[in-house]
């Protein structure tokens, strides 16, 4: 278990992490989500004792990192996959890590097998692709067979095959009863990987909930409806006290978005009033929608940079 309590980190004038409190439970993958610069890496570094909190605490199984007797056997982390000596082989790199942490050398072959690197164990790590380097990083994190694992943006830059492999691997580690915290700014990826989401923006906690609850709470579920008799439909909806808004985006035809109603209700109402419909479709808010609403200004900035495409 990871417990973050009132965690704050200031770098001069910048408050990178601002009074953050959340708990990461074992047995599921917890996604740690936020736009670039939200404070995810800084939080992870504090959990791992690499940055000192300005105030508050981060505990692993009830203790600060520095109080852990055998840190590598308690917590494993993948922060920067390129953190290897380029001229060292994958195996030598892991042997060196194992030796300096009192872990038997036999474990090195085990973790190489676990991440599928046995066949390239003797090759220099400097020549590894990003996907292979990530696997080597994972092997290092697993060396001490820790119950708690932290991964910072593990799928960044990977090809689709590598992304799926890492996703399944993290899910398997969680299914074994481990505590798995994975940071990402990729919302759709987290929706597929994580069961629970801790969302931050500008160092502050925005949401701490199951993935589905996060989406349901923040995104707009409803019905999209197009009709050549839109005025009559608006009157019928208003008469029933059902809220709607106009939505002509991209279709060339005016449409309505009816919030909080089902297609059954809107279809029935149209039928009862003899109104012709050209479209009646359920709208499901995406994780991206939810994220944009909740992280507000932070994401708005990125949208502007992209030419207002969002
Ligand atoms: N060593 C440091 N000195 C000064 N400012 C820092 C330092 N480390 C991080 N920051 C600032 O703290 C804020 C949070 O950064 P952090 O890297 O934790 O965010 P992040 O959510 O991990 O973002 P990204 O996904 O881009 O890595 C940013 O404004 C960053 O510029």
Q: What is the pLDDT of residues 187-223, one digit of tens each?
A: 778 888 999 999 998 899 988 999 888 776 666 668 8
- Residue to probe by mutation, ligand 1, list 7, 10, 34, 42, most atoms within 8 Å of CB: 42
* Ligand 1 center–CA 12 separation, angstroms: 12
Which of the pair, 193 or 130, is modelled with greater confidence?
193
* Ligand 1 center–CA 74 separation, angstroms: 26
Q: Residue 171, CB half-sphere, CA atoms under 13 Å: how many?
A: 13
* Ligand 1 center–CA 205 separation, angstroms: 16
Task: Give residue-wise pLDDT tens across range 295-306.
Answer: 765 443 443 333
pLDDT at 278 over 50: yes
**Average of per-residue pLDDT across 86-93:** 84
| Closest-CA residue to 5 (of 35, 38, 47) | 47
Residue nearest to atom 5 of ligand 1 (CA): 11
Report how far apart, in Å, the C-alpha atoms of 102 and of each of 1, 15, 140 are: 23, 38, 14
* Ligand 1 center–CA 217 separation, angstroms: 28
Which ligand 1 atom lies nearest to the CA of residue 44? 18
pLDDT at 287: 61
Q: How many residues does the chain have?
A: 310
Which domains, ranges and CATH numbers included, belong to the chain? 2-217 (3.40.50.300), 220-283 (3.30.70.120)
Which ligand 1 atom lies nearest to the CA of residue 203? 14
Q: What gap in Å lies between CA 1 and CA 94, rounded to an integer? A: 26
Complex ipTM:
0.95
* Ligand 1 center–CA 14 separation, angstroms: 9
Q: Which residues line ligand 1 (CB under 6 A)?
A: 11, 14, 16, 34, 36-42, 185
* Ligand 1 center–CA 202 separation, angstroms: 10
Q: Which residues pair with 5 in a beta bridge?
A: 57
- Hey, how many other C-beta atoms are within 10 angstroms of the C-beta on 152? 22
pLDDT at 83: 65
Share of the chain above pLDDT 70, in %: 86
Where residue 6 falls among pLDDT bands split at 50, 70, 90?
A: very high
**Chain-centre distance for alpha carbon 145:** 23
């Amino acid at each position: 278990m990871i417990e973050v309590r009132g965690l704050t980190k200031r770098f001069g004038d910048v408050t990178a992490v601002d009074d953050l409190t959340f708990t990461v439970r074992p047995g599921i993958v917890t996604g740690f989500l936020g736009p670039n610069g939200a404070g995810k890496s800084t939080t992870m570094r504090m959990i791992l004792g690499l940055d000192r909190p300005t105030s508050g605490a981060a505990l692993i199984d009830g203790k600060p990192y520095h109080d852990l007797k055998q840190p590598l056997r308690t917590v494993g982390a993948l922060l920067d996959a390129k953190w290897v000596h380029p001229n060292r082989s994958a195996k030598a790199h892991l042997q060196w890590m194992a030796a300096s942490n009192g872990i038997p050398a036999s474990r090195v072959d085990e973790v190489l097998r676990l991440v599928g690197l046995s066949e390239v164990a003797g090759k220099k790590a400097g020549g590894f692709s990003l996907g292979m380097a990530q696997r080597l990083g994972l092997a290092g994190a697993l060396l001490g067979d820790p119950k708690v694992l932290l991964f910072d943006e593990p799928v960044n830059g990977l090809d689709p095959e590598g992304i799926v492999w890492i996703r399944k691997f993290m899910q398997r580690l969680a299914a074994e009863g481990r505590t798995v915290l994975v940071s990402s700014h990729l919302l759709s990826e987290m929706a597929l990987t994580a069961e629970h989401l801790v969302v931050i923006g500008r160092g502050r906690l925005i949401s701490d909930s199951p993935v589905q609850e996060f989406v349901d709470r923040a995104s707009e579920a409803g019905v999209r409806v197009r009709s050549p008799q839109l005025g009559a439909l608006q009157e019928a909806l208003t008469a029933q006290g059902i809220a709607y808004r106009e939505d002509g985006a991209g279709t060339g035809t005016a449409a309505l978005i009816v919030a909080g109603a089902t297609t059954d209700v809107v279809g029935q109402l149209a039928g009862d009033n003899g109104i012709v419909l050209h479209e009646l479709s359920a709208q499901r808010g995406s994780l991206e929608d939810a994220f944009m609403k909740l992280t507000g200004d932070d994401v708005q900035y990125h949208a502007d940079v992209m030419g207002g495409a969002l």
